[in-house]
Amino acid sequence: MRTYFPKPAAGVLFALLMASPVLAANNGANGNSANAPGHDRVCLVTFNSESAVAAGRNVDGVGTKLLPRKAAQAQEGGASKIFEYGANTEQTCNCLNDPSTRATCG
Protein backbone atom coordinates (compact mmCIF):
# COMPACT_ATOMS: atom_id res chain seq x y z
CA MET A 1 0.00 0.00 0.00
CA ARG A 2 1.41 3.36 -1.03
CA THR A 3 0.94 6.63 0.79
CA TYR A 4 0.44 9.68 -1.38
CA PHE A 5 0.61 13.28 -0.22
CA PRO A 6 -2.12 15.48 -1.57
CA LYS A 7 -0.60 18.00 -3.97
CA PRO A 8 -1.06 21.08 -1.71
CA ALA A 9 0.59 19.31 1.25
CA ALA A 10 3.50 18.18 -0.90
CA GLY A 11 4.02 21.74 -2.12
CA VAL A 12 4.03 23.12 1.42
CA LEU A 13 6.45 20.40 2.55
CA PHE A 14 8.76 21.15 -0.38
CA ALA A 15 8.69 24.89 0.34
CA LEU A 16 9.55 24.32 4.01
CA LEU A 17 12.42 22.01 3.14
CA MET A 18 13.83 24.51 0.64
CA ALA A 19 13.52 27.43 3.07
CA SER A 20 15.09 25.71 6.06
CA PRO A 21 18.76 26.14 4.96
CA VAL A 22 18.11 29.83 4.29
CA LEU A 23 16.48 30.29 7.68
CA ALA A 24 19.27 28.39 9.42
CA ALA A 25 21.97 30.45 7.71
CA ASN A 26 20.34 33.75 8.66
CA ASN A 27 19.30 33.20 12.24
CA GLY A 28 19.44 36.91 13.01
CA ALA A 29 22.68 36.73 14.98
CA ASN A 30 24.21 39.52 12.92
CA GLY A 31 21.32 40.70 10.79
CA ASN A 32 21.66 44.40 10.07
CA SER A 33 23.44 45.20 13.31
CA ALA A 34 26.65 47.19 13.44
CA ASN A 35 28.37 44.03 14.72
CA ALA A 36 27.85 42.22 11.43
CA PRO A 37 31.05 41.61 9.48
CA GLY A 38 31.99 44.58 7.33
CA HIS A 39 29.42 46.98 8.77
CA ASP A 40 31.78 48.78 11.14
CA ARG A 41 34.77 49.44 8.92
CA VAL A 42 37.74 51.63 9.69
CA CYS A 43 40.86 52.73 7.85
CA LEU A 44 44.14 51.23 9.02
CA VAL A 45 46.90 53.62 7.94
CA THR A 46 50.48 52.35 7.79
CA PHE A 47 53.37 54.78 8.24
CA ASN A 48 57.13 54.61 7.65
CA SER A 49 57.88 54.78 11.36
CA GLU A 50 56.35 54.87 14.83
CA SER A 51 57.33 58.54 15.12
CA ALA A 52 55.15 59.28 12.07
CA VAL A 53 52.28 57.47 13.84
CA ALA A 54 52.85 59.68 16.90
CA ALA A 55 52.57 62.79 14.70
CA GLY A 56 49.10 61.50 13.72
CA ARG A 57 48.93 63.03 10.25
CA ASN A 58 47.02 60.51 8.14
CA VAL A 59 48.29 62.08 4.89
CA ASP A 60 51.83 61.03 5.91
CA GLY A 61 50.82 57.37 5.64
CA VAL A 62 52.37 55.11 3.04
CA GLY A 63 49.41 52.76 2.67
CA THR A 64 45.91 52.07 3.89
CA LYS A 65 43.53 49.15 4.34
CA LEU A 66 39.76 49.38 4.74
CA LEU A 67 38.99 46.69 7.32
CA PRO A 68 36.35 45.59 9.79
CA ARG A 69 37.13 47.16 13.16
CA LYS A 70 38.13 43.90 14.85
CA ALA A 71 40.58 43.00 12.09
CA ALA A 72 42.09 46.50 12.16
CA GLN A 73 42.44 46.42 15.95
CA ALA A 74 44.34 43.14 15.67
CA GLN A 75 46.83 44.78 13.26
CA GLU A 76 47.09 48.21 14.89
CA GLY A 77 50.32 49.14 16.61
CA GLY A 78 53.89 49.81 15.66
CA ALA A 79 53.71 51.78 12.43
CA SER A 80 49.93 51.41 11.95
CA LYS A 81 47.04 53.43 13.34
CA ILE A 82 43.26 53.31 12.95
CA PHE A 83 41.46 56.34 11.53
CA GLU A 84 37.69 56.83 11.20
CA TYR A 85 35.95 59.20 8.83
CA GLY A 86 32.26 58.56 9.54
CA ALA A 87 30.17 57.97 6.43
CA ASN A 88 33.20 58.81 4.26
CA THR A 89 35.53 56.14 5.68
CA GLU A 90 35.72 54.02 2.53
CA GLN A 91 36.16 56.98 0.18
CA THR A 92 38.78 58.69 2.36
CA CYS A 93 40.69 55.47 3.00
CA ASN A 94 40.89 54.78 -0.75
CA CYS A 95 41.96 58.38 -1.37
CA LEU A 96 44.75 58.12 1.21
CA ASN A 97 45.99 54.91 -0.42
CA ASP A 98 46.63 56.70 -3.73
CA PRO A 99 49.84 58.79 -3.62
CA SER A 100 48.54 61.10 -6.36
CA THR A 101 45.49 62.13 -4.29
CA ARG A 102 46.76 61.67 -0.73
CA ALA A 103 47.43 65.37 -0.07
CA THR A 104 43.88 66.34 -1.04
CA CYS A 105 41.95 63.75 1.00
CA GLY A 106 39.28 65.04 3.38
Task: Name 62's Cβ contacts closer than 8 Å, sequence gap at least 6.
Answer: 46, 47, 48
pTM of full prediction above 0.75: no
Nearest to 66 by CA among 85, 43, 88: 43
User: Residue 20: its pLDDT value, please?
Assistant: 46
Nearest to 76 by CA among 51, 50, 40: 50
For residues 84 and 70, what is the distance between their CA atoms, to the nearest angstrom? 13
Domain boundaries in the chain? Answer: 41-104
User: Residue 30: its pLDDT value, please?
Assistant: 46
84: Cα within 13 Å, side-chain hemisphere: 8
pLDDT (tens place) for every residue of the chain, 106 residues total = 665 555 555 554 455 445 444 444 444 444 444 455 556 899 999 999 888 888 878 888 899 999 999 999 999 999 999 999 888 999 999 999 998 988 888 6
